[in-house]
């Protein structure tokens, strides 16, 4: 028998590089380019591939060792060196295999039929060779009792003082019991659970290595037979994914209600889940008709566009009963499968780590592949490795990835200084219970988001408020005279539609109020449309639906539109497109009271009109005083985009239009 020693190749001049993973064992038959070991330096990790195929006779290193270029790794019997010796080895393996089966059965298995003609058996799962380490801590559990796992799927992750390693499943089957949990320590040979495996398949798989050279043809024929069976069953249900549809750019929207359960028969367009953003709630309908076989979300989860909701069986397509068969090269750990749910677009170059991080979506924290040095760095920096996009081989997180994540996080944090008070000392915490009984209640979601938006606008926009009054005596008389006629057309004619119409008319006269200031603070966006937002008070907080093209609508159309939007706001049924795109906002407190107030600009708009309660006042007409119904107006504006003189002209013009609404016809 001839063999050769495989050595560490050129590793860029590094020396004493730590081995963090051994990928092969004695007796393994490997192909050229298969990974032998994984190294990790202070800069990066790398896989060392086999230069040729063959059989591993001896592994000369172990995890935790340090190696340099030219050090021995394994002793390899290259392919084709001694076929007679291989045949003798196969015969010896065949003779010793019954004894191994006996030992496994005595270790606690439920023995299967000796003929292997069917049935199943339960086997113990034991901790494999740990390279001499003992009492190694379990840092992550990747499976749960009842899960179906395939051979080589990761069961749990261990971390010693030198390296971390994934413990794979030795069989394909169903996990019956799991006797360990995160934080437990284990050693080689410890029983960590039991699993049920198919009797015939497992027996053949365990007795197959001596006959491996004789079975490739049979194995190659199996997929073809399965495909033929799938084609023959073309009328059976097909398993389809249900994903979150377009949310108009909104992300991390919480699920407030689940409308279905696994096993339900649902029709197309039936509501599956209800989402609630900071501005509105929306139902997500089913895109198919069929049976819901799996639901991947629950109430309280946050989802974004493209996230998986569940799976549905749709009639009249190819079957999807069970998972498609996988070859060893196609097997993935649960975390890897989760990461590959969405196809990644092919990059047109190599982006920087920061750019990769920006495009990365947070993963589940389970099964993050990282060496001890990287984990220590993440702990020191307070970084959750589940949020870091891996760039190393086999999706391993490198130190550069952690640094890129931190750099990106710091970059995001800088603009938030204004939102945090621009350096203003925070209001100190106080224990109010010392003064009497108190009760703490969390703020509602709409209330919290409204507070955030208003705080951001107040800190970023230099506010000025211009006050004025409009004589609406004739307008009110006309409104009351037309009230019955408007009701006959299905509209409620309040003073607010007149205000919307008058503001749209004023924006056409003063287009500098129909702009937005870009983030650079140097560019104004002039809008060619007129959409007016109207603040609506709801039990859950303030909402601002938008009347689109208010300048093109009649008073009756505006009144009807506002009534519909107001009803939707009260029931939280507003769609996102009904709450975005506003050019100018009206906030009316006239039905409540008050003489004036300073409304906060609804950025990125540059102005907002506050309306208080109309009052009868004595107004001098040049010869005597006469009672007139006066409406207080409070115009807040962004002084960066609008100067004070223009604001005074705007309110004066608006007051003239409201005083004599015939001006709207000019």
Residues with catalytic roles: 639
Alpha-carbon gap, residue 318 to 564, rounded angstroms = 45
Beta strand spans in 398-498 (E): 463-471
Alpha-carbon gap, residue 244 to 49, rounded angstroms = 41
Dihedral sign for Cα atoms in the order 236, 237, 240, 245: positive
Three-class SS state of 287 = coil
The tokens for 378 are 């993440």
What φ, ψ does residue 527 adopt, rounded to 5°?
Answer: -100, 140
Angle at 81 between CA 76 and CA 82, to 5 degrees: 110
Contacts of 544 (CB under 8 A, 6+ apart): 533, 534, 535, 536, 579, 582, 585, 602
Angle at 620 between CA 618 and CA 625, to 5 degrees: 55
- Give, rounded to a whole angstrom, the gap between the first and last alpha carbons of the chain: 105
Three-class SS state of 399 = helix
Contact criterion met (CB below 8 Å) for 207 and 114: no
Beta strands 396-397 and 369-370 are: parallel
Three-class SS state of 253 = strand
Dihedral sign for Cα atoms in the order 287, 293, 298, 303: negative
What's the DSSP call for residue 417?
G
Alpha-carbon gap, residue 543 to 570, rounded angstroms = 9
Sheet holding 185-186, edge to edge: 164-168, 154-159, 136-141, 185-186
- Residue 370: count of CB within 10 angstroms of its CB: 27
């Amino acid at each position: 028998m001839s063999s050769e020693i495989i050595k560490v190749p050129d590793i860029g001049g590094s020396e004493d590089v730590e081995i963090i993973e051994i990928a092969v064992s004695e007796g393994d038959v490997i192909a050229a380019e298969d990974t032998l070991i994984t190294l990790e330096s202070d800069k990066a990790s790398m896989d060392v591939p086999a230069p040729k195929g063959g059989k591993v006779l001896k592994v000369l290193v172990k995890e935790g060792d340090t190696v340099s270029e030219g050090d021995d790794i394994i002793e390899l019997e290259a392919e084709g060196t001694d076929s007679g010796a291989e045949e003798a080895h196969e015969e010896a393996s065949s003779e010793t295999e019954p004894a191994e089966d006996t030992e496994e059965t005595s270790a606690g298995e439920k023995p299967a039929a000796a003929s292997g003609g069917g049935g199943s058996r339960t086997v113990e799962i034991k901790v494999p060779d740990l390279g001499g380490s003992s009492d190694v801590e379990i840092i992550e559990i990747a499976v749960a009792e009842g899960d179906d796992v395939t051979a080589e799927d990761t069961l749990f992750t261990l971390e010693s003082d030198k390296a971390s390693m994934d413990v794979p499943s030795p069989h394909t089957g169903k996990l019956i019991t799991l006797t360990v949990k995160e934080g437990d320590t284990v050693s080689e040979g410890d029983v960590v659970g039991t699993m049920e495996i198919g009797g015939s398949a497992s027996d053949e798989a365990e007795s197959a290595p001596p006959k491996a050279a004789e079975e490739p043809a049979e194995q190659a024929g199996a997929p073809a037979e399965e495909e033929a069976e799938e084609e023959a069953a073309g009328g059976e249900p097909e398993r389809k994914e249900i994903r979150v549809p377009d949310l108009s750019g909104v992300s991390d929207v919480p699920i407030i209600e689940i409308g279905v359960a696994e096993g339900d028969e649902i029709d197309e367009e039936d509501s599956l889940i209800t989402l609630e953003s900071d501005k509105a709630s929306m139902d997500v309908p089913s895109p198919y008709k069929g049976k819901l076989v799996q639901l991947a979300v629950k109430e309280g989860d946050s989802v974004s566009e493209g996230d998986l909701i569940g799976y549905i069986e749709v009639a009249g397509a190819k079957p999807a009963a069970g998972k498609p068969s996988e070859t060893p090269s196609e097997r993935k750990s649960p975390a890897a499968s989760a990461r590959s749910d969405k196809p990644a677009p092919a990059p047109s170059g190599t982006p920087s780590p920061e750019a990769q991080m920006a495009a990365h979506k947070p993963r589940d924290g389970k099964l993050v592949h990282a060496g001890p040095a990287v984990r220590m760095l993440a702990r020191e920096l307070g970084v959750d490795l589940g949020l870091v996009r891996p760039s190393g081989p086999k999706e391993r997180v490198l130190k550069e990835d952690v640094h890129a994540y931190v750099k990106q996080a710091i970059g995001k944090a800088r603009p938030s200084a204004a939102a945090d008070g621009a350096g203003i000392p925070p209001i100190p915490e106080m224990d109010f219970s010392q003064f009497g009984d108190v009760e703490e209640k969390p703020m509602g979601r709409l209330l919290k988001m409204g507070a955030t938006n208003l705080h951001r606008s107040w800190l970023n926009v230099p506010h000025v408020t211009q006050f004025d009054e409009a004589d609406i005596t004739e307008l009110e008389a006309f409104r009351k005279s037309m009230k019955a006629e408007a009701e006959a057309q299905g509209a409620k004619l309040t003073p607010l539609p007149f205000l919307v119409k008058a503001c749209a008319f004023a924006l056409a006269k003063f287009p500098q109020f129909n702009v937005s200031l870009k983030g650079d603070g140097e560019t104004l966006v002039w809008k060619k449309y007129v959409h007016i937002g109207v603040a609506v008070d709801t039990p859950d907080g303030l909402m601002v639906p938008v009347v689109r093209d208010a300048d093109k609508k009649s008073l009756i159309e505006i009144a009807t539109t506002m009534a519909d939007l107001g009803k939707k706001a009260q029931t939280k049924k507003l769609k996102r497109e009904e709450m975005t795109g506003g050019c100018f906002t009206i906030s009316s407190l006239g039905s409540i009271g008050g003489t004036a107030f300073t409304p906060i600009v609804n950025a990125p708009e540059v102005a907002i009109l506050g309306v208080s309660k109309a009052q009868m006042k004595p107004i001098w007409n040049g010869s005597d005083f006469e009672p007139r119904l006066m409406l207080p107006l409070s115009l807040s504006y962004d002084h960066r985009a609008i100067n004070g003189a223009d604001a005074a002209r705007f309110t004066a013009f608006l007051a003239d239009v409201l005083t004599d609404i015939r001006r709207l016809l000019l």
